[in-house]
Chains A and B, each alone.
Chain A
Amino acid sequence: MASKKSEEAQPTDEAQNEHDRLLSQLVAHLRDNREHLREQWTGRITGARLLSAMTPEEIFSEATSIYDNYVEVLETGSTDALQHYARDLSERIIPRGVETEDVLNIVLLLRDVLARSLFEKYREDFDLLNQVLDAYEPAANRIANMVAVSFVQERERVIRDQQEAIRELSTPVLQVRERLLILPIIGILDAPRARQLTEQLLKAIRAHRAKVVVIDITGVPDVDQEVANGLVQTVDASKLMGAAVIITGLSAEIAETLVTIGVDLSKMDTVGDLQEGIEEAERLLGYPTVRIDDGRR
């Protein structure tokens, strides 16, 4: 430890050269023992029951590419290559349903396997081993750290993409009859979504020249103050554009909640379910729905 500290305090050219020399020696060692170390590593992966979702062949090929990349990053030490490697790894592994914990464990296992092989190689010369580990440890830890971070980032990116997709998919504005739109809302309604929904609806009102809109919230699990106010705003804005809004599918719980939190829904036209809503809308538009009794006619 003492030697490491002094080295960090005064990173002289000499020390840097020595560090580089050791690292390249180390990399050469890892390259020479590639087969053996990789086997040891995959053995430990299966021993720890990691990657149980993959076949042994898949594990082997993944391990090979991870190993080669790992050694390469260790050699060049460039953060670009490191980031690229980590991103590539997470992109490949996340779709297979591998947990973050597993990935981190695998990378840490590889670090341990390689460290042990260094112990074995340099056990005769304790000082040299210390120096080699000084070169090896920071590089290896940086890789593990970077892999973990990029794995989390990739996860978050996937989640963001999915949220976006859900958001786009789940707010269709449908025309069921001339001048009649229905807007079935499914899923959690938060403030940004309510806002986006209102914007979409207003544009659709203009595009379809709608006079009546039926908003069905059967698929909304919960309504709070904010969402209720959002609904009131949607109704008001639609009215400004000359369209009447009918809200359907208010469940008993939601109706109770709304009354409890004291949202003023007096301006809203609410009916029980979508069917009634459409019937009401047709009445407003002057399309009376009459059942033709085919027994008599």
Chain B
Amino acid sequence: MAGVDLPEQEPLRVSILAQRAYLIASIHTALDDEHFERFQHDLIDQIGHRRARGVIIDVAALDVLDSFGSRTLRDLGQVARLRGAETVVVGIQPEVAFAMVKFGITLDSMYTALDLEEGLSLLDQLGSSGTELRRSRI
């Protein structure tokens, strides 16, 4: 076979797509700590690059979100905010949500929404109230 000599391709774990002024990052499979850090780095890079005003992180494919993962998400949200973008975590499954609160893992200070659609409309809302705030200051 021709493909035998090709290097084994790593499956795509995270995809980051740009949509209007937002970045949509979908996590497809469970990430280990190293992957998470690389993902964080890539995403923050892209926020500056594309001048994104909002970030959506879709975790619908994850069946577990441990304390490290949620801390990384929280840090990511804070860094993104410092760079001028709000972060919304979407797609947390019922089982995952239940397990998280049971182990005392919270995503305080972060926005959460049911799914991508909800996340987008939440960002729209945040954006419009933000501009209003800015306008009223002028």
Chain A positions near chain B (C-beta within 8 angstroms)? 198-199, 202-203, 205-206, 209-211, 233-234, 236-243
Contacts and interface: CB of A to CB of B under 8 A. Distances in A.
Interface stretch (B21-29, B97-105, B129-137): B97-105
B118 A242 contact: yes
A203 B115 CA distance: 14
A202 B98 contact: yes
A205 B92 CA distance: 11
Closest 5 A-B residue pairs measured CB to CB? A202-B94, A242-B113, A242-B114, A237-B97, A233-B101
B107 interface: yes
Size range of the chain B interface in the assembly: 20 to 34
A202 B97 contact: yes
Interface in B79-129: 89-90, 92-98, 100-102, 106-107, 112-115, 118-119, 122
Contact of B98 (A199, A211, A239, A242): A199
Contacts of A240: 89, 92, 96-97, 100-101, 107, 112
A236 B94 contact: no
Given A240-B107, A241-B97, 14 more contacts: A199-B98, A206-B94, A210-B114, A211-B118, A233-B102, A236-B100, A237-B94, A237-B100, A240-B96, A240-B100, A240-B101, A241-B92, A241-B94, A242-B113
Given A233-B101, A236-B101, A236-B106, A205 B94 contact: yes
B86 to A, nearest CB: 14
A211 B113 CA distance: 9
Nearest to B98: A237
A206 B114 contact: yes
Contacts of A238: 97
Contacts of B96: 240
A241 B101 contact: no
B15 to A, nearest CB: 21
A241 B112 contact: yes
Contacts of B119: 242
A203 B94 contact: yes
A202 to B, nearest CB: 3
Contacts of A239: 112
A243 B95 CA distance: 15
Contacts of A209: 114-115, 118
Nearest to A243: B114
A223 B96 CA distance: 26
B25 to A, nearest CB: 17
Contacts of A234: 101
A203 B112 CA distance: 16
A258 B40 CA distance: 40
A241 B114 contact: yes
Contacts of B95: 202
Given A199-B94, A206-B94, A237 B114 contact: no
Contacts of A206: 93-94, 114
Contacts of A198: 98
A242 B100 contact: no
B7 to A, nearest CB: 39
28 contacts: A202-B95, A202-B97, A202-B98, A206-B93, A209-B114, A209-B118, A211-B118, A236-B101, A236-B106, A237-B100, A237-B101, A239-B112, A240-B96, A240-B97, A240-B101, A240-B107, A241-B92, A241-B94, A241-B112, A241-B114, A242-B90, A242-B112, A242-B113, A242-B114, A242-B115, A242-B118, A242-B119, A243-B114
A201 to B, nearest CB: 9
A144 B92 CA distance: 57
B94 to A, nearest CB: 3
B133 to A, nearest CB: 20
A233 B106 CA distance: 10
